[in-house]
Chain A
Amino acid sequence: MKTYAFGRAFAWGVTTLAFTFAASASAADKEPIKVGASISLTSDMAIAGLQQKAGIQMAVDQINEAGGVPGKGGNRPIEVIYGDNAMSPTTAVNALNRILSDRPVAVLQSIRGTHVLPQLPLLQRAKVAGLTISATKKLTEQGNDYIFRFYPNDSVTKPILTRFVVEKLGKKKVGVFYSAEDYGSSGRDEIIKTLDELGIEPVAVESHQPTDKDFTAQLQSLKSAGAEVIFLQTFEAPSALILKQARQLNLDIPFALGVTSIGASAQKLVEARDVEGFYAETAVIDPSFSTDPKVKTWAAEIEKRYGIVPDYTALIDYDATNMLIKAIELYGPDNVELAKGLRRMSYDGMVTTYQSDQTGNMNHAASVIQIHDKRHTEVLRDSVPFEPYAEK
């Protein structure tokens, strides 16, 4: 009798499981070319995810409206299969798995490194290219042939900013303030490495927990160490609070900001006087401040169609999607050929010319902008030398 309940329950459980899976059986073949998008559509991370979605969808809608992607069997439309990463890496991997079961030719991935990293082995196994806009360096250090990064990684952006601050602005006493997690630590590492190359050691290095709200202690530490400039590497919300508190404490030290501190949602949280005169690194100047008429038209179109004001993440994902579409046109919708093609080709996007280096980094340029009255002006655009992909 003791196994009675066990047996019953087990049968129950297994039947439920089997039924469920049977119910969600795979789809039949369709005519459109399927492209996956594994991004955060819900939860706190949806802020960036929805930007990504706008950029991706715009590129897809435009090509579909033009009749589809030219190819051997005629023009075929693109269909995006969205997966929601939400917050945790586990959900992200599940989302990708579900997308992969629909057999897409490639997958556009999240801006969050912690979502992309665990997805890499799946992409390698499925031989499907992943296109991400995350800056986390590790992503292209895994020996994976199927990762393509469209955002200039930290070893492009941070050195450009650091050199600007030290060489052009002449600041020698440098403080670094970073968020104690992946993004912040990665930034900190690159900044300190560049400083080292320039023969400088930071006078103070402070960190904070991602959920902190009070930064007085760290700010005062930086001040008493004599910092002439503070490199800030953290996310939107803490960044806004740090800048506000720095001003309230009359810190009088200029900040050199990471790109997360100047995005649209970050800007909403600060007042003009919090960021006046500060410099920041970014892959490209925010579309709202761009002087490029093409970008301005594009931004207006996005706002009209999707109701959001696009930032640089939308713009770069737009480029990435378009490069993918071009690759499909050139190399066909076979996922393996497509990945190989993406490694080899170069593409002129709105932001820059994308070309892969040996490990999948596509974007090698960055800008330094200055903030006046909450408006951004580009003061420097530079790129880092790289070795284009060569087949072994």
Chain B
Amino acid sequence: MEQLIFNGLTMGCIYALIAFGFILIYNAVGAVNFAQGDLVMVGSYLGILGISYWGLGLLSTMLLVIVGSAAYGYVFQRLAYYPLRDKPTITVVISCLGAGIFMKNGMQVIAGPEPLTMRGFFEQETIQLATLQVPTQSAVIIVLTILLFAIQYWFFFGTALGRRLRATANDKYAARLTGIRVRRMIALAFVISCLLAGIAGFILVPIFLASPSMGFGLVVKAWIGVVIGGFGSVPGAIVGGLIVGLLETFAASYISSAYKDVITMLVLLAVLFLRPQGIFSEAIQEKV
């Protein structure tokens, strides 16, 4: 039982990271970013580039992933969002979709369609904690996720820059009136989002395998988490992601491994029908 919780939390952390990044963009520009999963994929490949091709150490590769993802996030928003910033948000949604397709197929051309892997971060694959077999990579993921969210919290609530970003997310126009450079804030939101996605991508390669099309499955799960948690809500994204991870694992174990995905989707539908605003409610219905 504890083993299941642990495994569920591991994937849940990944989904939470992706969901969080996704919500950042949504709050900043109001668009559903269909390419979020592909941004994760880029992080995975940056990690593989560092470790398998350039033979860098763990920390150097992490640095590479951080810098690479951040830079990539900036380029992404500059090309896929910025030219459309004054157009209806639907165009942004579609543009991100196209960008995702470009990324996915581009990576396939560069790296080939074969799935790739890398060794776990630690030599020792599992450690024994009480009755649990804890894969060290899972421990890495959970610890790193907690760390990242702690940093996020400090950033958004404890720094001036973070406060400005939150203000922009809340109300772009008011923010502009108070002198906040909205354009920069939006770019920053994309950069942070991509950064989180990239790190998530890097740390999950050992347990997940990397392939150009890995993004799709991941982002669907992350979105389900976002809905369950409450669309647009930041704690909702985190909690929702964790819930999806746990739900998957438990559904597979206690109900049926074949119907695991269907069950998750059905829970999603139930939430949509019964409590569409999710756990941390956010008004998502038309106020008409």
Using a CB–CB cutoff of 8 Å, the interface residues on chain A facing chain B are: 42-47, 180, 206-209, 211-214, 216-218, 220-221, 236-237, 240-241, 247-250, 265, 268-269, 271
Q: Using C-beta atoms within 8 Å of the partner chain, give the interface range for chain B.
A: 20 to 34
Q: Is the CB of B114 within 8 A of A217?
A: no
Q: Is the CB of B249 within 8 A of A214?
A: yes
Known A44-B213, A209-B261, A248-B125: A214·B114 in contact at CB below 8 Å: no
Q: Is the CB of B3 within 8 A of A240?
A: no
User: Counting CB contacts under 8 A, is B117 at the interface?
Assistant: yes
25 A–B pairs (Cβ distance < 8 Å), ordered by A: A43-B113, A44-B113, A44-B211, A44-B212, A44-B213, A45-B113, A47-B112, A211-B217, A213-B207, A214-B10, A217-B4, A217-B252, A221-B253, A221-B257, A236-B115, A237-B209, A241-B207, A248-B125, A248-B126, A248-B135, A249-B133, A250-B126, A265-B114, A269-B117, A271-B119
- Chain B residues with CB below 8 A from A42, complex form: 108
Known A217-B253, A218-B252, A240-B117: A212·B260 in contact at CB below 8 Å: yes
Q: How far is the CA of A133 from the CA of B207 in the complex (A)?
A: 32
- Chain A residues with CB below 8 A from B117, complex form: 240, 268-269
Q: Is the CB of A208 within 8 A of B257?
A: yes
Chain B residues numbered 107-157 whose CB sits less than 8 Å from any CB in chain A: 108, 112-117, 119, 125-126, 133, 135
CB distance from A74 to the nearest CB of B (A): 41
Give 6 closest A-B pairs by Cβ, nearest first: A217-B253, A217-B252, A207-B258, A237-B115, A211-B217, A180-B258
Q: How far is the CA of A45 from the CA of B217 in the complex (A)?
A: 17
Q: How far is the CA of A209 from the CA of B253 in the complex (A)?
A: 13
User: Counting CB contacts under 8 A, is B11 at the interface?
Assistant: yes
Q: A220, A248, A269: which contacts B115 (Cβ < 8 A)? A: A269
User: Counting CB contacts under 8 A, is B77 at the interface?
Assistant: no
User: Counting CB contacts under 8 A, is B38 at the interface?
Assistant: no
Q: How far is the CA of A237 from the CA of B116 in the complex (A)?
A: 9
Q: How far is the CA of A217 from the CA of B212 in the complex (A)?
A: 27
By beta carbon, the residue of chain B nearest A241 is: B209
Which interface residue of A45, A216, A220, A241 has the most chain B CB atoms within 10 A? A216
By beta carbon, the residue of chain A nearest B117 is: A269
